[in-house]
Structure 1
Amino acid sequence: MPNLPPLNGLRAFDVAGRRLSFRAAADEMGVTQGAVAQHVRQLEAHLGTMLFDRLPKGLALTPAGRRYHGRISAAFEELRAATAQIKPEPGKVLISVTPTFAAKWLIPNLPDFAQKHPDIDLRILATERVSSFHSDGIDLAIRQGKPPFGAALDATLLFRQEVIAVAAPTLVKGQALPLDPEILSRLPKIHDSHDLWPKLLAQIGVPDQSKRGLQLSQTALAVDAAVSGQGVALVSRFLVLREIHDAKLIELGHAIANDAQGFYLLSPRNMASKGAVKEAIDWLTSETGKQR
């Protein structure tokens, strides 16, 4: 492979570029500091350009080194993902969920999973983007939507979509429930990326008369803002069952009509019956079934 730089040099450069220290890179790689420095020098000689500025205390990437490191680190990450696909770790399950689902349902329920399955390493990838089972190396995903999700996927309904209006008790103290629509229209609204307030207000036949509101990017943040008394939030009921039970939030008696969307557990058909993944699926369907 005459066109490729020395692979040991690339590996040393990748780690040293992240740590900005030959010593720290050596500790991570399990070699000597001198070996890391030599590999980087050989790579620089091969490329004919300096990748690092050697400073009295550590390293700094040169402009060329910064550009090169971005692509090299991405290449190594792709190699790690490809290797994980062909050589899975026994007992490891990687699940992709939205940040809100992770914060408001999955993480609070993890102690139960850990107690029942101490030998399974459940790892969480919290992201709003659509994850790839192949390139991201994930085993399971939980997403909101409507079937079908594709012939290659098994889809299991975990929660039906039921959006309710909730607020801190102090915000509506002394008001009868269900809350009068005119009163609701005047309360401050907490908005998230789903932007469901226009739909609910149209459904109950009132305009938005609130003098202030709060715009947030995630539903989990909207829930936290509602708990702190900053306004009324529209959220899926199952995400706030804990806060309602603890009297941190109360349901105001207004909900958005079900639009057939739900939260589904997705898995590749050829993975569903395998070991730790199957145990994670069974736990998720059992726990969510108790809370529906």
Structure 2
Amino acid sequence: MRLTHAKPPLRSLQVFEAAARCGSFTAAGGELGITQSGVSRQVSDLEATLGVALFLRNGARLSVTPAGERLARQLADAFAQTWSAVADAQRSDQIVTLSMLPSVAARWFASRLGDFLSANPDIDLRITASRHLVDFVTEGVDAAIRYSPAPPGNLEAVKLGTETVTPVCSAEYAEKHELDAPEDMYRATLLCGDIPEDWPAWFEAAGCQQSPPAGPRLGDDGAILQAAVEGQGVALGRSLLVADDIAAGRLVAPFHVSLDASHAYWFVRPKDMATTHAINAVEEWLIGQFEVQH
């Protein structure tokens, strides 16, 4: 055959790849929804365009030539990448990357992930947990749950809810140390964190006259609450993060004295970033979860 420089139609390349992979014009036609004769015609036209024999025909038997094998292998790789790119494009509007604090991810969101997936089966939700304020553009984040006194001025923000702060510990710890009145806290181990509401503020609100005793400091709310669950002391628990532990009996709140948190939870996203149905669905679901919580 004479080599030509004409570019073959993409459809004929697709038909040839299917025929080479299936080893049969009939099977390839069934896969592509065309007749056996249609496959044969497309392959013959492709061979004529390329000036290369792609199949050896011996009566009813059909075998791929070495040149055909090389072309089929390369086309299979190219089509696989193409269909993957198409799938990614179709799925891109359904991907939402949501940032939140590690403590919120571990002690609040994780137990609700199944509910989210049930309510939004088509959304590919990806959680990134970090203590720093993410850069939405460079880190590829679509939205975030921020914990701050006021909404960030440079972001679209929807207030999700507020919370209270109160001492929590395991039931065994409360019984062992006889935590019946606020004054009993002087003989407890106070687990300290870095939230604005601290032990001196709670002792003052509880009417205690002396300053609280010093206690070990843990920098992460999740670690502090886990230490309280394991009977290591008493933590100042943020109501959102301890609700599940209290409901399950892992923690108890020995006293009714609580502090109003100075921070609130906000759903935020960049003002100049295009929204999608999936991002809106995540926002609506979070709003509903906070309404139930309160």
TM-score where L is the length of structure 1: 0.63
Deviations 1:86-119 (A, max 9, x none): x992211011100000001111110101111122
Q: Distance in 1 between matches of 2:225 and 2:210?
A: 23
1:250 pairs with 252, 267, 277, which one?
252
Aligned equivalent of 1:45: none
Aligned equivalent of 2:170: 168
Do the aligned partners of 1:166 and 1:250 also contact (CA within 8 Å) in 2? yes
Question: RMSD of the TM alignment (CA)?
Answer: 2.6
Do the aligned partners of 2:178 and 2:184 also contact (CA within 8 Å) in 1? no
Distance change in 2, residues 1:209/1:193 (3 Å): closer
Distance change in 2, residues 1:271/1:286 (3 Å): farther
1:142 pairs with 131, 140, 145, which one?
145
Alignment of 1:10-89 (within 5 A): 89=92
Deviation of 1:176 after TM superposition, in Å, equals 7.8
Alignment of 1:144-223 (within 5 A): 144-150=147-153, 152-173=154-175, 179-194=180-195, 196-204=198-206, 205-208=208-211, 210=213, 213-223=215-225
Q: Distance in 1 between matches of 2:288 and 2:162?
A: 15
Unpaired runs of at least 5, structure 2: 1-89
Deviations 1:20-68 (A, max 9, x none): xxxxxxxxxxxxxxxxxxxxxxxxxxxxxxxxxxxxxxxxxxxxxxxxx
Q: Secondary structure at the match of 1:221?
A: helix
Distance change in 2, residues 1:255/1:261 (3 Å): farther
Give the total of aligned pairs.
Answer: 204
Q: State which structure, 1 or 2, has the greater radius of gyration over its C-alpha atoms.
A: 2
Deviations 1:164-197 (A, max 9, x none): 11110011218888x4121012211111222611
Do the aligned partners of 1:97 and 1:124 also contact (CA within 8 Å) in 2? yes
Do the aligned partners of 1:166 and 1:252 also contact (CA within 8 Å) in 2? yes
Deviations 1:188-246 (A, max 9, x none): 11112226112212333343565x73321101111111111111000111211111111
Aligned equivalent of 1:100: 103
TM-score where L is the length of structure 2: 0.63
Unpaired runs of at least 5, structure 1: 1-86
